[in-house]
Amino acid sequence: MNGAVYITANHVSKEIKNQPILKDINLRLHKGAIYGFRGKNGSGKTMLFRALCGLILPTEGEVMVDGLKLGKDVSFPPSVGVLIEYPGFLAGYTGFKNLKMLASLTNTITDDRIKEAIRQVGLDPEDKRKYRKYSLGMKQRLGLAQAIMEKPDLIILDEPTNALDTDGIEEFKKLLLELKKENKCILIASHDKEDLEYLSDEIFVMENGEIIDHYERKGENE
């Protein structure tokens, strides 16, 4: 792929309570591409994503994002949106109010941009229902809106189509391909091989904390 490497993982390993969770992970990832990560539960996908966005530090090796070392130069990637496992929001607030509260932490986007992100994932920003009244699919969509609302350069999504219906999955695919055109670096973990094959430029297969295979795709989305 063309252009400078945006994310580098050099010999990343992680142990927790003397148990190896990640084993000698090496990656070179670029902007303007979608990377798929496939593997069974417990294969290490989620832990790898945590390491790539600074939520855990490796026991050995290093993660570099845009030339900055996580845990040394910066704690987290400078421009990142993350959806890992199930999204957590405040039950007594609307979707918009939840996202507005999160956006206030960095204060880099307007209310209009928050509403645009909510629409992008197929929700209504004017919906007055509280989060506790949301269906599982709506909760997942709000989690996706949270990950993209600040237009981050790096987007990390762990099982992003969980609880989405068929229409929701198709909308999600279209959204991701649009974000790729905006020169984002997108990482997706999914059990669904067909979705990964369709979306991804390169796929990594994980097992027992290792990348056991990877291959480039000329995906159907081209």
What CATH number does residue 8 fall under? 3.40.50.300
Of the residues 151, 173, 192, which one is the last residue of a structural domain?
151
Q: What is the Cα–Cα distance from 157 to 202, expressed in whole angstroms?
A: 15
Amino acid type, 63? V
Question: Mean pLDDT over residues 55-79, rounded?
Answer: 96
HSE of 55, CA atoms in CB hemisphere, 13 A: 13
Same domain, 10 and 53: yes
How many structural domains compose the chain? 2
Over range 159-171, report the average pLDDT: 92
Strand order across the 60-65 sheet: 19-29, 7-16, 60-65, 68-69
Residue 51 sits in the same domain as residue 125: no
Query: Domain boundary at 104, 119, 151, which?
Result: 151
> β-strands 19-29, 7-16: how paired?
antiparallel
In the structure, what pLDDT confidence band is assigned to residue 1 with cuts at 50, 70 and 90?
low
pTM metric for this prediction? 0.94
Are 38 and 98 in a shared domain?
Answer: no
- Dump pLDDT digits (tens) for 8-50: 999 999 999 999 999 999 999 999 999 999 999 899 999 999 9
Same domain for 9 and 93, yes or no, is: no
Looking only at the bridges linking them, the beta strands covering 68-69 and 60-65 are antiparallel
Based on the fold, state whether residues 127 and 41 are members of the same structural domain. no
Instruction: Judge residue 22's burial from the number of C-beta atoms within 10 Å of its C-beta, 0-12 exposed, 13-18 middle, 19 or more buried.
Output: buried
DSSP state letters, 66-94 = TTEEBTTTBSS-SSEEEE-SS----TTSB
Whole-number pLDDT of residue 4: 86
**Do 2 and 70 share a domain, yes or no?**
yes
- At 98-144, the pLDDT tens digits run 999 999 999 999 999 999 999 999 999 999 999 999 999 999 999 99
Same domain, 28 and 115: no
Residues 51 and 159 in one domain: yes
Write the pLDDT tens digit of every residue in 76-97.
999 999 999 877 899 999 999 9
The C-alpha atoms of residue 115 and residue 119 are separated, in whole angstroms, by 6
Cα dihedral 67/70/71/75 (nearest 10): 100
Name the residue range of residue 134's domain. 87-151
**147 and 160 part of one domain:** no
d(CA 109, CA 6): 24
Residues 41 and 145 both lie in one domain: no
46 shares its domain with 137: no
147 and 157 in a common domain: no
pLDDT digit string, tens, across residues 178-211:
999 999 999 999 888 898 999 999 999 999 999 9
